[in-house]
């Protein structure tokens, strides 16, 4: 059994890379700093996935963003046509209100003056172009106000510019696959549930295949037992939500990296990825895994909350394998 597991890990590590000129499939990657590649010294898992899969990658990794903010970003950048309800749900800016990470709360802005989107008319079904005007106070037909706004006191309106003319502006290239890794910012199960379900509904309506990655407990191993237990609980609650929303296309990274879950005993092993690792490093990883924490060897030396280049390459190989097992590549 040990020999088979080692050979599987080696095959994953040595997976062939595809030349850039062979690329055809478009993959949209949604996520936070882990998708952007923070901590990887220029390496990100979407970039590595492009090399392995031969796909054209659109990387929407946005450091620090919580699930609903990823949803807003997805609506504005990756939906060819929005409904009025989807557009109204996007506030111009919002305070993050990170319950579990209050020390890094900040205001996020989503709308820029002059931004344009396409909206399907509720009455005619035609596609209309709307423009964000941050100083507008106008109301009535042809003006849309974000739901959280007061229609009389708060500035900023979506202003109808007219009907879209066929061929007037190119639509964004449609992705064939979307890989979503929401990260752990915010970690509120209700936000994960609502935001992910809305993103999935939009993608499914456009027949886009979706793979959703589970969250990973990245709390440092020197944290207190109570903190580790709390973070493990929050991660578990969010992963339970994610798995229920995408039961057939859920990749359990927490289980693969640690000693718990369906992949326990067959996932990450230090020397498969770091052949020259010391006995001390292997022992430290085993302690982390037993505690349900991402192994120390996958962390950058100067950054305890992200993943290093080897970790991102590992994620890319796991995603590439999952996409190929489903026959999507």
3-state secondary structure 142-193: CEECCCCCCCCCCCCEEEEEEECCCCCCCCCCCCCEEEEECCCCCCCHHHHH
Number of domains in the chain: 2
Say yes or no: 198 and 72 in one domain.
Answer: yes
Same domain, 263 and 276: yes
Instruction: Identify the domain boundary among 137, 171, 205.
Output: 171
Give the distance from CA 240 to its chain's centroid. Answer: 16
- If asked whether residues 202 and 270 sit together in one domain, one would say yes
Answer whether residue 102 shows pLDDT above 90.
no
Does residue 162 sit in the same domain as residue 92? yes
Q: Give this prediction's pTM.
A: 0.86
Q: What is the pLDDT of residue 79?
A: 93
Q: Which of 171, 205, 236 is the last residue of a domain?
A: 171
CA-derived radius of gyration, the chain:
22
- Residues 48-98 have pLDDT tens digits of 999 999 999 999 999 888 899 999 999 999 999 999 999 999 999 887 766
Q: Distances in Å between the alpha carbon of 29 and those of 247, 265, 320? A: 19, 29, 13
Mean pLDDT of all residues in 41-54: 95
Burial class (CB in 10 A: 0-12, 13-18, 19+), 201: exposed
Domain boundary among 171, 195, 220: 171
| Dihedrals phi, psi of 306, to nearest 5 degrees | -115, -160
Which residues constitute the domain of residue 134?
81-171
Residues 23 and 144 in one domain: no
The verdict on 117 and 252 lying in the same domain is: no
When pLDDT is cut at 50, 70 and 90, the band that residue 11 belongs to is very low
For the ranges 70-84, 97-111, 241-255, the lowest mean pLDDT is seen at 97-111
């Amino acid at each position: 059994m040990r020999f088979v597991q080692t050979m599987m890990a080696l095959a994953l590590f040595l997976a062939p890379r595809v030349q850039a000129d062979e690329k055809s499939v478009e993959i949209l990657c949604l996520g936070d700093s882990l998708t952007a590649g923070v901590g990887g010294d220029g390496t990100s898992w979407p970039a590595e996935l492009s090399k392995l899969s031969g796909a054209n990658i659109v990387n929407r990794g946005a450091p620090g963003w919580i699930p609903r903010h990823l949803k807003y970003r997805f609506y504005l950048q990756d939906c060819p046509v929005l409904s009025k309800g989807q557009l109204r749900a996007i506030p111009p800016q919002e305070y993050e209100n990170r319950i579990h990470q209050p020390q890094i709360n900040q205001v996020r802005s989503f709308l820029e003056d002059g931004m344009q989107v396409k909206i399907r008319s509720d009455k005619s079904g035609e596609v209309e172009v709307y423009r964000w005007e941050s100083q507008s106070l106008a109301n009535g037909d042809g003006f849309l106000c974000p739901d959280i706004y007061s229609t009389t006191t708060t500035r900023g309106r979506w202003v109808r510019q007219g009907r879209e003319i066929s061929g007037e502006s190119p639509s964004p290239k449609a992705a064939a696959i979307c890989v979503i890794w929401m990260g752990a910012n915010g970690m509120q199960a209700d936000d994960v549930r609502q935001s992910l379900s809305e993103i999935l509904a939009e993608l499914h309506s456009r027949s886009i295949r979706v793979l959703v990655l589970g969250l990973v407990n990245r709390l440092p191993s020197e944290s207190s037992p109570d903190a580790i237990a709390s973070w493990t609980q929050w991660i578990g609650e969010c992963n339970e939500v994610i798995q229920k929303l995408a039961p057939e296309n859920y990749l359990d990274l927490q289980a693969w990296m640690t000693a718990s879950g369906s992949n326990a005993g067959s996932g990450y092993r230090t020397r498969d990825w770091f052949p020259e690792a010391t006995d001390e490093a292997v022992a430290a990883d085993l302690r982390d895994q037993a505690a349900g924490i991402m192994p120390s060897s996958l962390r950058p030396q100067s950054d305890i909350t992200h993943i290093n280049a080897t970790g991102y390459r590992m994620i890319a190989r796991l995603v590439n394998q999952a996409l190929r097992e489903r026959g999507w590549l």
